[in-house]
């Protein structure tokens, strides 16, 4: 329908549809004079089909290329102001900062499936959700199927009640089993809102905690604070009490954690304090549940405490009073792909300023970025220097593996470590052991020609995994390709292979051989599959089902297990010597976090680190517990080297079907950008193949831009940047990348 169609056209609208290509918006006419505005959810037709779409812009004049074209009108208004003007501003700002399109950013920020739905007006009260209670009679002597028994045991373990959505989540119990138990009267249901009344009252704070809560409560709108508290200092209690103050003023709270595995613990603690005011929002939820949380968050009358992971930073809470990023140093707060490659910490800073909320960054090991921000006066430092109950931090003991070797002990597990593990178990205490890699063996290599067995799709060696019956196969940790170990070398035909490096499976096997009567449990991505895998495994360990938990990095993150008195690291060296600018910072953070798992309860703890480099500065700071000094020194080093965060970097990542096409595209991009980069006083480095030059069959190249801190990244606007890329080659812009 064009200008001369005779109908009164007040405006032209740009509408974003999920059905469109990346970055594409469609122009529609508004003949109904609905006075539509950006943020309205509307229904339109595209190629004969109905779609819901978001009005992203109102045009007074039609772009020249569309002048005179017949434009269809918007069919109807589904929901006015489905996203607020302030929220759209946030999206535009994030898109701009990350050199992503508004479309990509919207797609990242909105729960998937949201646009496909017909929206109702914001809900006033949370939709009644069911909670299942039971078992209502003793289970002894009952005839139950294994599935029924397992469901009842789960309920029992959860203290007699569990939300239906959780009990019957995909991968958990089936609805039909629940129905059969309901029919027999063994379980019953109540509404979740009614049942989740707060059950826990706030704890009496120690003086450091009191000071922290007072400072957060008194902080100016938009202010950022770093809550630097040692592991076990009671940071979560500070968050919860600050959140209570916020709720009391009718304002909402965003409580973010970097790890999906930490959600259950935080959710339990928040629910026991705030009951039905708590919403969850994270990637392990079903689309429908996410949309429900999103909608509940829109209600300005009902202040919420949202517990979520990275993407929850975009939830459009209308009256936001407090944002908390727990474990603010964690790399999971950064999105690598797809674009926008945003950092939740930076989005949180924007949101805090925009909505006059207070931002609290909590951690035992602050990131260098946040430390710098403190030293520049942009972030206020709050300290919790002591553990709750003045419990001591566990001392760190080193095992010099060079000496072990010199004394003829070539085993993976040193004598002191085995001794300590045995003692811990004999005393009925528990230990956690960090192994940097999952699987059985790091890789296989050929005894004749020395070549490792590589993934056919990626430039990495395949990892050996082992099944229950001892059968071994190979797996790629990058693309998940699986294959049999094979019987001859693809290079020279030799049939002799030699495995190298130990993963969690091999460590468990060796511990089993060396220690008698020690019960072992494995904690890695392979053993914690499914939505509740993480939680279930930790519950089993907390219940005393095993003495030693052997796991990967996941082990170090945030868990609170009072009977753990020993935290051990098998091969610290693998962490220290990575070729990355942040290797020192990240490995010290990991080691301190792991150390923080020991001695959290009444019993004192100890940390044991096996290393070939006991003199490494990271190990020294670990032993001395001098993280603040480490940060100062590291900042000084980076300042003198002109490195991030005292400078800025931006990584352009290209991927394409062949090495030559990708290399050519990278070279063309680099020479196109070079003049602008130079003009801005920046430096362009590369192009060069990515550290792993091929993943899942796609070749990867990169170009690095380096420039002054706080300066804008000298890149042309989004469509121009991509315009000259050959078909099949993709480009991702990663501002302030975490890996360099």
Task: Copy the structure tokens of residue 188.
Answer: 């019953």
Shortest distance, position 192 Cβ to ligand ADP, whole Å: 24
Q: Which is nearer to Zn ion, 451 or 739 (CB)?
A: 451
Q: Does 268 bind ligand ADP (CB under 6 A)?
A: no
Contacting ligand ADP within 237-256 (CB under 6 A): 237
Q: Does 231 bind ligand ADP (CB under 6 A)?
A: yes
CA distances from 516 to 311, 413, 511 (A): 46, 15, 9
Contacting ligand ADP within 381-410 (CB under 6 A): 388
Shortest distance, position 696 Cβ to Zn ion, whole Å: 6
Shortest distance, position 350 Cβ to Zn ion, whole Å: 37
Contacting Zn ion within 483-512 (CB under 5 A): 489, 491-492, 494
Report what 560 binds from ligand ADP, Zn ion, none; CB cut-off 5-8 Å by kind. Answer: ligand ADP
Please choose, out of 238-246, 479-487, 544-552, 713-721, the segment that lies near Zn ion by the rule CB under 5 A. 479-487
- Going by their DSSP bridges, the two strands 548-551 and 430-434 should be labelled as parallel
Shortest distance, position 240 Cβ to ligand ADP, whole Å: 9
Q: Does 458 bind Zn ion (CB under 5 A)?
A: yes
Q: Which of 106, 83, 112, 80 is nearest to 93 (CA)?
A: 106
Task: Copy the structure tokens of residue 434.
Answer: 């960090």
Task: Measure the CA–CA gap between 240 and 260, rounded to whole angstroms.
Answer: 19
- Residue 653, helix vs strand vs coil: strand
Contacting ligand ADP within 663-722 (CB under 6 A): none
Answer for which of 234, 258, 340, 656 binds ligand ADP (CB under 6 A) is 234
Task: Measure the CA–CA gap between 571 and 554, rounded to whole angstroms.
Answer: 16
Q: Does 39 bind ligand ADP (CB under 6 A)?
A: no
Please choose, out of 90-98, 104-112, 204-212, 449-457, the segment that lies near ligand ADP by the rule CB under 6 A. 204-212
Q: Does 232 bind ligand ADP (CB under 6 A)?
A: yes
Report what 229 binds from Zn ion, ligand ADP, none; CB cut-off 5-8 Å by kind. Answer: ligand ADP
Shortest distance, position 590 Cβ to ligand ADP, whole Å: 15
**Sequence-separated (6 or more) residues with CB below 8 Å from residue 702:** 651, 652, 653, 654, 666, 686, 687, 688, 689, 690
Shortest distance, position 204 Cβ to ligand ADP, whole Å: 6
Answer for which of 115, 144, 233, 292 binds ligand ADP (CB under 6 A) is 233
Task: Measure the CA–CA gap between 244 and 249, rounded to whole angstroms.
Answer: 9
| Rg of the chain on CA atoms, in Å | 28
Task: Measure the CA–CA gap between 245 and 357, rounded to whole angstroms.
Answer: 13
Locate tokens 């296989």: which residue? 444
CA distances from 235 to 228, 281, 553, 568 (A): 9, 21, 21, 24
Q: Does 236 bind ligand ADP (CB under 6 A)?
A: yes
Q: Which is nearer to Zn ion, 380 or 457 (CB)?
A: 457
Q: Does 328 bind ligand ADP (CB under 6 A)?
A: no
- Determine what percent of the chain falls in helix, strand and coil, rounding each to the nearest 5: 35, 25, 40
At 272, which helix (H) or strand (E)? Answer: helix 263-274
CB distance 39 to 85 below 8 Å: yes
Number of Cβ within a 10 Å radius of residue 646? 18
Q: Which is nearer to Zn ion, 449 or 637 (CB)?
A: 449
Q: Which is nearer to ligand ADP, 52 or 209 (CB)?
A: 209
Number of Cβ within a 10 Å radius of residue 540? 15
Q: Which is nearer to ligand ADP, 335 or 365 (CB)?
A: 365
Task: Measure the CA–CA gap between 447 and 723, rounded to whole angstroms.
Answer: 49
Q: Which is nearer to ligand ADP, 625 or 657 (CB)?
A: 625
Q: Which is nearer to ligand ADP, 8 or 204 (CB)?
A: 204
Q: Does 203 bind ligand ADP (CB under 6 A)?
A: yes
Cβ neighbourhood burial of 143 (10 Å; 0-12, 13-18, 19+): exposed
Shortest distance, position 447 Cβ to Zn ion, whole Å: 8
**Sequence-separated (6 or more) residues with CB below 8 Å from residue 517:** 425
Task: Copy the structure tokens of residue 60.
Answer: 């007074």
Q: Which is nearer to ligand ADP, 4 or 390 (CB)?
A: 390
Q: Which is nearer to ligand ADP, 192 or 364 (CB)?
A: 364
Q: Which is nearer to ligand ADP, 154 or 326 (CB)?
A: 326
Q: Does 683 bind Zn ion (CB under 5 A)?
A: no
Task: Measure the CA–CA gap between 492 and 580, rounded to whole angstroms.
Answer: 34
Shortest distance, position 260 Cβ to ligand ADP, whole Å: 18
Shortest distance, position 434 Cβ to ligand ADP, whole Å: 18
Shortest distance, position 242 Cβ to ligand ADP, whole Å: 13
Task: Measure the CA–CA gap between 17 and 270, rounded to whole angstroms.
Answer: 36
Locate tokens 């976090």: which residue? 593
Q: Does 229 bind ligand ADP (CB under 6 A)?
A: yes
Answer for which of 51, 102, 173, 235 binds ligand ADP (CB under 6 A) is 235
Q: Which is nearer to Zn ion, 457 or 613 (CB)?
A: 457
Q: Which is nearer to ligand ADP, 302 or 559 (CB)?
A: 559
Answer for which of 79, 196, 209, 586 binds ligand ADP (CB under 6 A) is 209
Is the backbone peptide bond immediately before 567 cis, with ω within 30 degrees of 0? no
Answer for which of 212, 305, 476, 550 binds Zn ion (CB under 5 A) is 476
Report what 235 binds from ligand ADP, Zn ion, none; CB cut-off 5-8 Å by kind. Answer: ligand ADP
Q: Which of 704, 719, 601, 723 is nearest to 650 (CA)?
A: 704
- Geometric angle at alpha carbon 324, from 321 and 329, rounded to 5°: 150
CB burial readout 583-615, b (16+ within 10 A) else e: ebbbbbbbbbbbbbbbbbbebebbbbbbbbbbe
Task: Provide the mask over 558-597, with x wherever binding to ligand ADP is found by CB under 6 A and - wherever it is not.
Answer: --x-------------------------------------
Report what 587 binds from Zn ion, ligand ADP, none; CB cut-off 5-8 Å by kind. Answer: none
Task: Measure the CA–CA gap between 253 and 242, rounded to whole angstroms.
Answer: 9
Task: Provide the mask over 612-651, with x wherever binding to ligand ADP is found by CB under 6 A and - wherever it is not.
Answer: ----------------------------------------
Task: Measure the CA–CA gap between 405 and 408, rounded to whole angstroms.
Answer: 5
Please choose, out of 276-284, 350-358, 482-490, 719-727, the segment that lies near Zn ion by the rule CB under 5 A. 482-490
Q: Does 73 bind ligand ADP (CB under 6 A)?
A: no
Q: Does 444 bind Zn ion (CB under 5 A)?
A: no
* 3-state secondary structure string across 406-434: HCCCCCCCCHHHHHHHHHHHHCCCEEEEE
List interacting residues with ligand ADP (CB under 6 A).
203-206, 209, 229, 231-237, 388, 560
List interacting residues with Zn ion (CB under 5 A).
446, 448-449, 455, 457-458, 476, 478-479, 481, 489, 491-492, 494
């Amino acid at each position: 329908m064009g200008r001369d169609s005779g109908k009164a056209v007040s405006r032209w609208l740009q509408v974003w549809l999920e059905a469109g290509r990346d970055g594409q918006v469609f122009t529609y006419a508004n003949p109904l004079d609905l006075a539509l505005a950006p943020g309205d959810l509307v229904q339109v037709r595209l190629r004969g089909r109905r779609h819901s779409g978001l009005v992203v812009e109102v045009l007074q004049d039609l772009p020249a290329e569309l002048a005179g074209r017949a434009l269809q009108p918007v069919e109807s208004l589904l929901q006015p102001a489905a996203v607020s003007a302030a929220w759209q501003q946030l999206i535009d700002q994030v898109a701009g900062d990350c050199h992503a399109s508004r479309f990509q950013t919207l797609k990242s920020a909105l729960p998937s499936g949201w646009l496909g739905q017909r929206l109702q007006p914001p809900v006033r009260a949370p939709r009644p959700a069911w909670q299942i209670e039971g078992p209502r009679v003793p289970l002894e002597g009952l005839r139950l199927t294994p599935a029924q028994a397992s469901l009842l045991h789960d309920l029992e373990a959860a203290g007699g009640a569990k939300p239906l959505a959780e009990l019957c989540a995909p991968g958990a119990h089936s609805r039909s089993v629940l129905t059969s138990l309901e029919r027999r009267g063994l379980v019953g249901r109540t509404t979740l809102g009614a049942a989740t009344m707060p059950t826990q009252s706030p704890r009496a704070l120690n003086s450091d905690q009191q000071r922290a809560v007072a400072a957060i409560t008194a902080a100016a709108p938009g202010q950022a604070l770093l809550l630097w508290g040692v592991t076990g200092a009671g940071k979560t209690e500070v968050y919860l009490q600050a959140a209570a103050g916020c709720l009391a003023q009718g304002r909402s709270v965003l409580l973010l954690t970097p790890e999906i595995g930490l959600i259950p613990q935080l959710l339990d603690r928040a629910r026991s304090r705030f009951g039905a005011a708590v919403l969850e929002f994270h990637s392990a939820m079903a689309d429908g549940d996410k949309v429900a949380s999103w909608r509940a968050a829109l209600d300005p009358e009902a202040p919420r405490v949202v517990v979520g992971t990275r993407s929850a930073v975009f939830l459009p809470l209308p009256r936001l009073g407090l944002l908390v990023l727990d474990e603010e140093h964690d790399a999971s707060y950064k999105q690598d792909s797809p674009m926008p490659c945003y950092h939740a910490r930076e989005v949180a800073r924007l949101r805090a300023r925009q909505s006059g909320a207070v931002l609290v960054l909590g951690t035992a090991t602050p990131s260098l970025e946040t430390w710098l921000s403190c030293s520049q006066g942009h972030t206020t430092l709050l300290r919790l220097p002591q553990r709750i109950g003045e419990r001591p931090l566990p001392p760190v003991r080193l095992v010099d593996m060079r000496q072990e070797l010199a004394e003829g002990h070539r085993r993976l597990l040193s004598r002191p470590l085995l001794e300590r593990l045995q003692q811990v178990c004999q005393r009925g205490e528990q230990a956690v052991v960090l192994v940097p890699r999952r699987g059985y063996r790091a890789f296989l290599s050929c005894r004749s020609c020395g070549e490792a067995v590589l993934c056919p799709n990626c430039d990495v060696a395949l990892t050996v995994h082992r099944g229950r019956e001892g059968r071994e196969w190979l797996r790629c940790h990058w693309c998940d390709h699986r294959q049999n170990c094979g019987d001859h070398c693809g290079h020279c035909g030799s049939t002799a292979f030699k495995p190298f490096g130990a993963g969690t499976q091999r460590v468990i096997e060796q511990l089993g051989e060396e220690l008698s009567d020690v019960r072992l449990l494995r904690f890695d991505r392979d053993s914690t599959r499914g939505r509740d895998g993480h939680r279930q495994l930790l519950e089993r360990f907390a219940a005393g089902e095993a003495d030693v938990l052997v796991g990967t990095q996941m082990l170090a993150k945030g868990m609170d297990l009072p009977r753990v008195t020993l935290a051990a690291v098998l091969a610290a060296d693998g962490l220290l010597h990575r070729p990355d600018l942040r290797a020192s910072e990240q490995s010290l953070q990991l080691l301190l976090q792991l150390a923080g798992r020991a001695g959290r309860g009444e019993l004192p703890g100890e940390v044991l680190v096996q290393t070939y480099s006991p003199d490494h500065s990271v190990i020294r700071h670990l032993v001395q517990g001098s993280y603040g000094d480490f940060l100062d020194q590291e900042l000084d080093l980076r300042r003198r080297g002109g490195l991030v965060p005292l400078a800025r970097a931006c990584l352009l990542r290209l991927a394409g079907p062949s090495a030559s096409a990708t290399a050519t595209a990278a070279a063309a991009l680099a020479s196109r950008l070079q003049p602008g980069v130079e003009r801005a006083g920046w430096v362009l480095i590369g192009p060069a193949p990515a550290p792993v030059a091929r993943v899942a069959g796609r070749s990867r190249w990169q170009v690095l831009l380096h420039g002054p801190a706080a300066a804008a990244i000298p890149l042309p606007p989004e469509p121009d940047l991509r315009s000259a890329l050959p078909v099949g080659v993709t480009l991702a812009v990663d501002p302030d990348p975490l890996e360099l």
